Structure 1
């Protein structure tokens, strides 16, 4: 935890309104985001808060150093956004591309920074302050996410969008072939004289689509567990260990990916974030033999999931999570595995039981019927 984060969390314990000395401190040490040319009466947000923009809107000020998620939407279109690790005093500039209806980076040379900083005073009335009333909630949702997590997971194109840039496999194949100057070879395989050529279509004859390269969120590949596999007795610790090795042996990066996937879905409205979140939960609920060797992981996993469910809107469960009842199914398995495990310590069993009681009381979930 950085000094700035510690100062802010301490200040937030006093109430939602920051003391004047903290406001002054954050103006000097917080980051600035200039978002130029963005249309008025559009949605703009950071972390857990969004607004409708006015005509004078030019960005944000006093952003706490650390990883944040910025997003926007025009004309009720799907949200587009990005994660960024804001540094103390940093000035980030984005400009709106009206034709493409998206944002672009505007690079600032080191020599331009002093001039940009002098301009901030004149732009002050057009810069919205960071919503500190939501900072504690945001920190609780993202405390494992690091700049390294963002670099590893973020799309290469620089944007996370709820409306994916799709391309058919056949189009991608042809584009790649053209890049490699293999047109003559392609024609010999896909012309009218070759009716049995391989086509990139599904069983209904529809083109198979995928997210265009560079636009996908680069989630770690995780073994997918089906509902039929989610029952007591399933053991996938070997897969967990392989996954952790792929993350450099750092369990915190697995939890960071769980957090970033959740934010992508809850705030970015990207369904693939929900699918990755489910995959991680399913896997961790199927590893009873790891409770001893990965005690810190499972203790932290329970805490991370607690904060995520605590921050969810009530209708989130009605519309999405409870649709296939995956949480009650998989968490029933987790609670039973921990309770019956010879590897789980008393502290993990106690934390698990407290979490189970919280969910039963808060959401009326019955974990004894699954």
Structure 2
């Protein structure tokens, strides 16, 4: 935890508005985001809060150093956003492109930074302060995310969008072949010399689509697992170990990915984030053999999931999370595995039992019914 973060969390515990000395401290040590040319009366947000922009809006000031998620939307269009690791005193500049209806980077050369900082004083009334009232919630949702996590997962082209940029596999193949000037491009063209060729279609004859290269969120590949009452005893610890090796053996990066996936869905409205979040929960719930060797991971996993569910809007569960009861079905497996484990230890069993009781009380979920989980 950085010194800036510690100062802010201490101020949050005091409640109410930030003391003047903290405001002054963050003005000089926080980051600035200039978001130029963004239309009035449009949605703009950072982390856990969004607003409708006013006529003079030009960005944000006093952003706490660390990883944040910035997002926007115009005319009720799908949200687009980005993660960024803001450094103390950094000035990030984005410019709105009206024609493309998206934002673009505007680099600030090092020699221009002093002049930019002098200009900030004249722009002060057009810069909204970071919403510190939500900082503790944001920190709790993202405490495992590091700059390395963002660099590893973030789309190459720098934008996360809730409306995927799709392209058919056939088109992607042709574009790749043409770009690389490969002979296969000419062999697979449809023309008078090549009227027929194998196409990329599904069993119904429809083109197979994928997210265009550069736009995809680069999540770790996790096999989809079907979790039902008939799978009691099945263990996927070997898959967890493979996944952790792919992350350099750092289990904190798995939880960081779980947190990024959750934020992508909750704030970015990206469904693939929800799917990755589900896949991680499914995998973690089916690894009874790993409970001993990865005890720290499972303890932290329970805490991360508890905080995510605690911070969710109420209708989030009604509309999405409770659909098909995937959480009750899946977590029933986790709770049973921990309960029956001889290697998990007393502390993990205690924390898991407390989490189970919280979910039962808060959401009226029954994890002990015969069919593996459901609502009371």
- Smaller-chain TM-score range? over 0.9
Partner of 1:121: 121
In terms of mean alpha carbon deviation, does 10-19 or 187-196 score higher?
Answer: 187-196
Closer/same/farther in 2, CA of residues 173 and 14 from structure 1, 3 Å limit = same
In terms of mean alpha carbon deviation, does 327-336 or 173-182 score higher?
Answer: 173-182
String of CA shifts for 1:267-290, please: whole Å, max 9, x gaps. Answer: 000000000000000000000111
Matches within 5 A, 1:96-111: 96-111=96-111
Q: 1:230 and 1:312 mapped to 2: Cα distance?
A: 30
Matches within 5 A, 1:340-351: 340-351=340-351
Helix, strand or coil at the partner of 1:350: helix
Q: 1:208 and 1:228 mapped to 2: Cα distance?
A: 29
Helix, strand or coil at the partner of 1:123: helix
Q: 1:188 and 1:209 mapped to 2: Cα distance?
A: 18
Q: 1:81 and 1:277 mapped to 2: Cα distance?
A: 19
Helix, strand or coil at the partner of 2:273: helix
User: Is the Cα–Cα contact under 8 Å of residues 169 and 200 in structure 1 kept in the other structure?
Assistant: yes
Matches within 5 A, 1:238-257: 238-257=238-257
Structure 2 spans left out of the alignment, 5+ residues? none
Partner of 2:81: 81
Shift in Å at residue 231 of structure 1?
A: 3.5
Q: 1:28 and 1:46 mapped to 2: Cα distance?
A: 20
Closer/same/farther in 2, CA of residues 97 and 187 from structure 1, 3 Å limit = same
Q: 1:184 and 1:277 mapped to 2: Cα distance?
A: 38
Partner of 1:225: 225
Q: 2:109 and 2:230 mapped to 1: Cα distance?
A: 53
Q: 1:248 and 1:22 mapped to 2: Cα distance?
A: 38
User: Is the Cα–Cα contact under 8 Å of residues 32 and 92 in structure 1 kept in the other structure?
Assistant: yes
Runs of 4+ in 1 over 6 A off after TM superposition: none
Partner of 1:35: 35
String of CA shifts for 1:111-134, please: whole Å, max 9, x gaps. Answer: 100000000010000000000000
Aligned length: 370
Q: 2:259 and 2:230 mapped to 1: Cα distance?
A: 22
Partner of 2:56: 56
Answer yes or no: is 1:367 the counterpart of 2:370. Answer: no
Closer/same/farther in 2, CA of residues 185 and 42 from structure 1, 3 Å limit = closer
Helix, strand or coil at the partner of 1:60: strand
Helix, strand or coil at the partner of 1:320: helix
Q: 2:185 and 2:80 mapped to 1: Cα distance?
A: 39
Partner of 2:284: 284
In terms of mean alpha carbon deviation, does 317-326 or 141-150 score higher?
Answer: 317-326
Q: 1:347 and 1:131 mapped to 2: Cα distance?
A: 36
Q: 1:188 and 1:124 mapped to 2: Cα distance?
A: 58
What is the TM-score normalised by the length of structure 2? 0.96
What's the Cα RMSD here?
1.4
Structure 1 spans left out of the alignment, 5+ residues? none
User: Is the Cα–Cα contact under 8 Å of residues 230 and 282 in structure 1 kept in the other structure?
Assistant: no
Shift in Å at residue 358 of structure 1?
A: 0.2
Q: 2:210 and 2:20 mapped to 1: Cα distance?
A: 51
Closer/same/farther in 2, CA of residues 188 and 13 from structure 1, 3 Å limit = closer
Partner of 1:149: 149
Closer/same/farther in 2, CA of residues 116 and 228 from structure 1, 3 Å limit = same
Matches within 5 A, 1:63-212: 63-182=63-182, 186-187=186-187, 190-191=190-191, 197-212=197-212
Helix, strand or coil at the partner of 1:103: strand
Closer/same/farther in 2, CA of residues 141 and 230 from structure 1, 3 Å limit = farther
Shift in Å at residue 183 of structure 1?
A: 6.3
Q: 2:23 and 2:190 mapped to 1: Cα distance?
A: 65
Helix, strand or coil at the partner of 2:203: coil
Q: 1:278 and 1:79 mapped to 2: Cα distance?
A: 22
Q: 2:263 and 2:42 mapped to 1: Cα distance?
A: 21
Shift in Å at residue 204 of structure 1?
A: 1.8
User: Is the Cα–Cα contact under 8 Å of residues 142 and 260 in structure 1 kept in the other structure?
Assistant: yes
